[in-house]
């Protein structure tokens, strides 16, 4: 089944920022679109998101160059190629780009084509995307990591910590994780409003807080979990994304909220203390993407009972993940399609993570679209975990809802193992 046409045009993400939609059309008339997400607290090792930088067009954020690259360079190279050769076609785009970080054509241009190609191929086979990507092997409905409060770059630095999340570790079914999260999200919102601590909604749908320091939100989380009728640690655990690269100047970590400066040792002590004081089952980017010593130390101290996820640390990059595995820096990898910029490389990153006995967490970006590609990716690869931001706003809900549809389609074949997943890394 040959690719007959590729088109690209500018659409707008959940923040109203320009992004690309790419349409891949096949010789039988079937077509599909890929919608490209965009981060705000991006890692320095990510593939490059090409923006025009022309202040007179969408304040520098338009993506017309990336669109032109799809139409004038990528389309001529891929038209006539088999849509089922995902890996070969992704490689062809990578070679055509010719740079280490996809900076010539843009990772957004390449990813849009790559996603649309996978969706068109699935449609041509008459399969759901998860079936096509997983070659029929994917059937694990993921455990959700869901944001209750948003901070950092997603909430005008209302807190220095980026995400305060929960994981419904006691849930027996996927539906139950959603119900428990719904209850906690709304209980926390009511509680914060009553206390005058809620300013609004952050970029990923969580509550935008107004606190004096970064530890106060833990009390709200604990209280909301209890008020909603659950036992912290047993039914529902806390998860954090510190996004610590944003707090690090190469020597010190800094909290702007309460004007605190930490040496690397002091910041280690704080992260380790929080993990012991609160029922934290998962912590993402507790240290900067260059502070390997602290990563190694935390993994050695707490990796047997806390999921330690590298996001900015690994940026879904095979070479960086391999280095992390060799050095024992973490036990889990956050997986974001646009950090690396193609579907094939993303799946390779997941497979590498799993082969090492680590856990992948498939993730959305803070700037999202109505595309539910990642829900399919999570099930296709049996990744086991999905992080999409909060339990509100349609660009988030479309992902949670899609897993309900996938589960329904899988019928008896669908599996949900919930927190039993962590046995892989905690044993």
Binding residues for Zn ion, rule: CB under 5 A, are 241, 284, 311
Catalytic residue, from 102, 336, 387, 399: name it: 336
Confirm or reject binding of residue 128 to ligand PGA (CB under 6 A). Answer: no
Say if CB 142 and CB 403 are below 8 A apart. Answer: yes
Residues 304-343 within binding reach of ligand PGA (CB under 6 A):
311
In the three-class reduction of DSSP (H, G, I as helix; E, B as strand; rest coil), residue 359 is classed as strand
- Residue for token digits 């980026």? 162
Binding residues for ligand PGA, total number by CB under 6 A: 12
- Judged by CB under 6 A, the residue of 118, 180, 243, 343 near ligand PGA is 243
Q: Which residues contact 289 (CB under 8 A, 6 or more apart)?
A: 43, 44, 45, 245, 310, 312, 313, 315
The rounded distance, in Å, linking the Cα atoms of 115 and 90 is 10
Nearer to ligand PGA, 285 or 402 (CB): 285
Q: How far is the CB of 256 from Zn ion (least distance, A)?
A: 18
> Which lies closer to Zn ion via its Cβ, residue 162 or residue 381?
162
Residues near 277 by Cβ (< 8 Å), separated by ≥ 6? none
Strand bridging mode 307-310 / 280-284: parallel
Say whether residue 40 binds ligand PGA (CB under 6 A): yes
204 noted as active-site residue = yes
**Interface with ligand PGA by CB under 6 A: which range of 113-121, 208-216, 269-277, 360-368?**
360-368
- Beta carbon nearer to ligand PGA, 14 or 272: 14
How far, CA to CA in Å, does 29 sit from each of 24, 26, 123, 132?
A: 10, 5, 11, 19
Q: Is 241 in the site for ligand PGA (CB under 6 A)?
A: yes
Taking CB under 6 A as the criterion, the residue among 299, 366, 390, 403 binding ligand PGA is 366
Cβ burial of 355 (10 Å; 0-12, 13-18, 19+) is exposed
What's the rounded Cα separation, in Å, for the pair 353 and 375? Answer: 18
User: Of the candidates 103, 181, 109, 100, which has an alpha carbon nearest to the alpha carbon of residue 143?
Assistant: 181
Rounded CA-CA distance 88/271 in Å is: 43
* Site residues (CB under 6 A) for ligand PGA, limited to 83-122: none
**Which CB atom, from 123 or from 202, has the smaller least distance to Zn ion?**
202
Question: Would you count residue 365 as binding ligand PGA (CB under 6 A)?
Answer: yes
The verdict on whether 336 is a catalytic residue reads: yes
**Within 369-398, which residues bind ligand PGA (CB under 6 A)?**
none
Q: How far is the CB of 329 from Zn ion (least distance, A)?
A: 15
Which part of the chain contacts ligand PGA (CB under 6 A), choosing from 40-48, 61-69, 264-272, 286-294? Answer: 40-48
């Amino acid at each position: 089944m040959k690719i007959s046409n590729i088109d690209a045009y500018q659409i707008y993400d959940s923040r109203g920022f320009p992004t690309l939609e790419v349409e891949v059309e096949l010789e039988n008339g079937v077509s599909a679109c890929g919608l490209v997400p965009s981060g705000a607290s991006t890692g320095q090792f990510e593939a490059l998101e090409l923006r025009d930088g022309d202040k007179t067009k969408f304040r520098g954020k338009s993506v017309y160059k990336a669109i032109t690259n799809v139409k004038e360079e990528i389309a001529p190279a891929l038209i006539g190629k088999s849509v089922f050769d995902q890996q070969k076609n992704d490689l062809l785009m990578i070679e055509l780009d010719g740079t280490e970080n996809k900076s010539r054509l843009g990772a957004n241009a390449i990813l849009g084509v790559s996603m649309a190609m996978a969706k068109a191929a699935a449609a041509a086979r008459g399969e759901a995307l998860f079936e096509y990507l997983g070659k029929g092997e994917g059937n694990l409905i993921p455990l959700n990591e869901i944001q209750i409060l948003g901070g950092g770059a997603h909430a005008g630095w209302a807190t220095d910590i980026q995400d305060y999340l929960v994981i419904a570790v006691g849930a027996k079914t996927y539906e139950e994780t959603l119900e428990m999260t719904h209850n906690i999200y709304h209980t926390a919102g009511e509680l914060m409003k009553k206390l005058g601590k809620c300013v609004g909604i952050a970029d990923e749908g969580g509550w935008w807080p107004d606190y004096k320091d970064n530890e106060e939100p833990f009390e709200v989380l604990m209280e909301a979990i209890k008020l909603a009728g659950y036992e912290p640690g047993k039914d529902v655990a806390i998860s954090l994304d510190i996004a610590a690269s944003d707090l690090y100047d190469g020597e010190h970590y800094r909290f702007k909220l309460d004007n605190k400066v930490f040496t690397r040792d002091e910041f280690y002590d704080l992260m380790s203390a929080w993990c012991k004081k609160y029922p934290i089952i998962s912590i993402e980017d507790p240290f900067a993407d260059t502070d390997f010593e602290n990563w190694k130390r935390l993994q050695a101290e707490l990796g047997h009972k806390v999921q330690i996820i590298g996001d900015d640390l690994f940026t879904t990059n095979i070479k960086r993940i391999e280095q992390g595995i060799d050095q024992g820096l973490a036990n889990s990898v956050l997986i974001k399609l646009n950090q690396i910029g193609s579907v094939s490389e993303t799946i390779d990153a997941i497979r590498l993570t799993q082969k090492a006995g680590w856990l992948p967490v498939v993730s959305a970006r803070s700037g999202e679209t109505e595309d539910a590609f990642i829900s399919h990716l999570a099930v296709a690869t049996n990744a086991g975990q999905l992080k999409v931001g909060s339990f509100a706003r349609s660009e988030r809900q479309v992902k949670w809802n899609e897993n309900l549809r996938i589960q329904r389609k899988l019928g008896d074949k669908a599996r949900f193992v919930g927190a039993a997943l962590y046995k892989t890394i905690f044993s």
